[in-house]
Amino acid sequence: MDSELKDLDLYEILEIQQSATEKEVKTAYRKKALQFHPDKNPDNPKAAQLFLQLSKILAVLTDTAARSAYDKLINAKLAAKLREKEYDSKRKKLIDDLARREKGALEKQKDTVERNFEKELERLRRESSDLLAKERARVNELLKQQETEKEMNGSYKLKVKWIENEVYDKDNLRSLFSKYGDVITVVVLESKKCVALIEYNTKNSAINAKNLEVGYPHCPLTVSFIGDYGQDTKKSSNQTSASKSSNMTYQNKNDNETKNTKFKSTSQAFLDYEAMILERFRQAGKSKQESCNLKNMSTEESKSV
């Protein structure tokens, strides 16, 4: 941890009194940390350095021994400044020698105080990591909370178009779109004919209005999103369509397989039937041949007798 803090007014940086309690110190730190957080100051190259400096200041002012050493240092500097202001030009000539001796004594005292303060800083460097991690986590939590509140209090806009002039105005558009939620603003664009902007404070209201509102039958409305908050709905619709298409393809495939199976079964049955008829013809031919042979044998026996 840098010893440069000894040349800074830590209380002035946090905008608190030297008598501030530990709770007041932490509150002031969080306020400043949110103000100079690197995520909120991407264009400020010094934001990370300032944020780190605030962490070091918090570590000093929340540790009893380190704060006591720092207070002694800053009180000594303040006392010296006050004494210098009290000296006027007439007395200064008389006390030059005394000032030099006092300066030497103060330098020794200052060196001693600075060494003590640097020792405390070194100790804090080893012991304060848990405190800093906790406070940084708290700051990150506050940042997320701010982002959530910002999203909850955000605005969601729709663009509305129609064909015929003088059919829709601010009042009847508000009446139509208020069915889906609180409408913040309705703006009928004068620069563009038959175009208006509708603003909601909730995403669901805007999405429902876009998907459901069609306007009057004789002059329908075309509603579209302004911004990318409706992309999730589009993706969901595409996925649903793809799923239906996949199911239809799978069903058609099963139907074709069933038809092929039925065709194969019919063809096999026809072949079996044909084979049975041919077998019967062969049996009939064989029986006829045997009858002819028996008849010939009987005729030959009669002649021989």
- Over 80: is that where the pLDDT of 78 sits? yes
Mean pLDDT, rounded, of the chain: 77
Domains along the chain with CATH numbers: 3-62 (1.10.287.110), 154-225 (3.30.70.330)
- pLDDT-derived band at 305 (thresholds 50, 70, 90) equals very low
- Over 80: is that where the pLDDT of 9 sits? yes
How many Å apart are CA 14 and CA 48, to the nearest integer? 17
H/E segment holding residue 184? strand 183-188
Strands (E), 189-305: 195-200, 215-216, 219-220, 222-226
Q: What is the pLDDT of residues 190-203, one digit of tens each?
A: 777 899 999 998 88
Q: What is the pLDDT of residues 244-256, one digit of tens each?
A: 454 455 455 555 5
- pLDDT-derived band at 24 (thresholds 50, 70, 90) equals very high
63 pairs with which residues across the strands? none
- Over 70: is that where the pLDDT of 120 sits? yes
How many Å apart are CA 92 and CA 201, to the nearest integer? 70
